[in-house]
Amino acid sequence: MQTLRLEFYSNISYFFSNKNKQKYKKQLISRNSVTSVSFESVVLMAEEKKKEKFDVESASLLVKELRGTFASGKTKSYEWRVSQLKSIVKMMEDNESQITDALSKDLSKPRFESFVAEISMTKTSSKLFLKELKHWMKPEKVKTQITTFPSSAEIVSEPLGVVLVISAWNYPILLSLDPVIGAIAAGNAVVLKPSEIAPASSALLAKLVEEYLDSSAIRVIEGSIPETSALLEQKWDKIFYTGNGRVGRVVMTAAAKHLTPVVLELGGKSPVVVDSNINLKVAVRRIVYGKWACNNGQACIAPDYIITTKAFAPALINALRCVLEEFYGKDPFKSDEISRIVNDNHFARLTKLLDEDYVSDKIVYGGQRDEASLKIAPTILLDVPENSLIMQEEIFGPLLPILTVDNIEESFDLIQSKSKPLAAYLFTTDKKLEKKFVSTISSGGMVVNDTVIHLTAHTLPFGGVGESGIGSYHGKFSFDAFSHKKAVMYRGFGGDASARYPPFTPKKQKLLIALLKGDIIGAILALIGWV
């Protein structure tokens, strides 16, 4: 019997994590000592365990558990918040190799890009909170008015409660953990739902979060539409979603049932306006970096299309061609510096954009594809039709159309004819054009003479406007996104003016009217009976 039991534990190990296997082993032994548990019955138990699904009931129990943790006050303490932030830093440092391996499996993301854009930025975010958190948690003193004299007032930042973070696949580590960092720092309990489109990163996040962070308050739920739907059925205190507008609408609809506030980090067609009076080499290097060095165009703030003048377009295209070959060689499929397309569906989507009538013949550079390796070369197109699919939807890939205008200022009307983008870029040395661009174009963020780097500035809010999103985060803005700003006023029992209460005699009315108008002299005169 003992031999049978040992054989069973060996054969059944694939059903359980080591942690769960030991738990079941202890249960069986304690329940039956060294006696009778049939092999078949326990295999059945294992199969049932494997078939368990995360459904609405499971989600409800999870939220109930986390609400209990939050109600205990555990997550509100400065010490708990700091301990979790330090654990995230340690998690990043201890598992660099595992993280880069997961990103390579999901996206063939270059190791250095993985370190810079995912590991390093996550650590930097955590360290910023560790440095500033005590200051950000302090109540903010504010002035009061004469109508409440004597009094004092402050704004207290308090955690919202139990929050849900649904992250994206293109930067599956950073876009999962960066919002979670803000939620933890603000004192919330958190559920993270990583994207199933990056399965290796999702599985790693689930493993590491359980290992490094407090599972009574911070949980990861893996899965796809059924699991996400089960989570969205619950009442949350905030939902933070990163992804596309179609799913964003689903999230917002679900949130509306419970009046749950949302942050939606979406995307859009981020334009690049290129004037002719520029340092062309520097400008093109920065455009290429923002488009192709950032996950091969699979980034929400990647340049989506360029607008320049007809006269300047040939020089710009030639410069783009030279820099692309400098960065990735004449055969970009052999380069180790460029990511692949995430999956078959997105490869087919991008192929459809390229193969559309009146678009396929507009390719002036690149266009090569390798379906087996899910790679599409950096591709430049010139003057594609405005009504083409490639100009109607966010590209989210290595394709870059260039549109031409007679006068660079015509680009403003073209941009404004579309939904407000997540980012807008301008390259110029003309200060008047720069000023007009900033004042005329509405976008989530904006950079003059560079691309994408505003993402790294924690002093700037990162978020969209209109179709490109709702709300913002990064740095203090992340702390605020997951906090309620509670207004608090303090008064003593002295200074209780009778003029505040009925009956409102003519003298009282004169005094109150003067106070409400801010007329101090009139109030004094009313008090002494001179008016």
Which residues participate in catalysis according to the annotation? Answer: 265, 300
Residues in Cβ contact with 103 at an 8 Å cutoff, skipping those fewer than 6 apart: 109, 114, 118, 172, 173, 198, 200, 201
At 326, is the secondary structure helix, strand, or coil?
A: helix
Which amino acid, one-letter code, is at 497?
A: A
SS3 percent helix, strand, coil of the chain, rounded to 5, is 50, 15, 35
Start-to-end CA distance of the chain, whole Å, equals 104
Cα–Cα distance measured from residue 321 to residue 313, given in angstroms and rounded to the nearest whole number = 12
Give 111's contacts (C-beta < 8 A, 6+ positions apart).
100, 104
Which residue has 């009307």 as its token pair? 413
Q: Which residues of 94-133 are buried (b: 16+ CB within 10 A; e: fewer)?
A: ebbeebbbbbbebbbbbbebbbebbbebbbebbebbbeeb
Nearest-angstrom CA–CA distance, 357 and 196: 33
Q: Is 214 helix (H, G, I), strand (E, B) or coil?
A: coil
Task: Give the contacts of 407 (CB within 8 A, at least 6 positions apart).
Answer: 309
- Compute the distance between CA of residue 178 and CA of residue 180 in angstroms, rounded to an integer: 5
- Rounded CA-CA distance 448/446 in Å is 7
The residue assigned the tokens 């913002």 is: 472
| SS3 readout for 28-95 | HHHHHCCCCCCHHHHHHHHHHHHHCCCCHHHHHHHHHHHHHHHHCCHHHCHHHHHHHHHHHHHHHHHC
CA angle in degrees (0–180, nearest 5) for 167-171-175: 40
Rounded-to-integer distance, Cα 350 and Cα 363, Å = 14
In whole angstroms, give the CA distance from residue 302 to residue 433: 22
CA angle 181, 182, 188 (to 5 degrees): 95
Cα separations (Å) of 203 from 98, 209, 220, 285, 398? 11, 10, 9, 36, 27
In sequence order, the 6+-apart residues with CB closer than 8 A to the CB of 499 are: 507, 508, 511, 512
3-state secondary structure of 427: strand
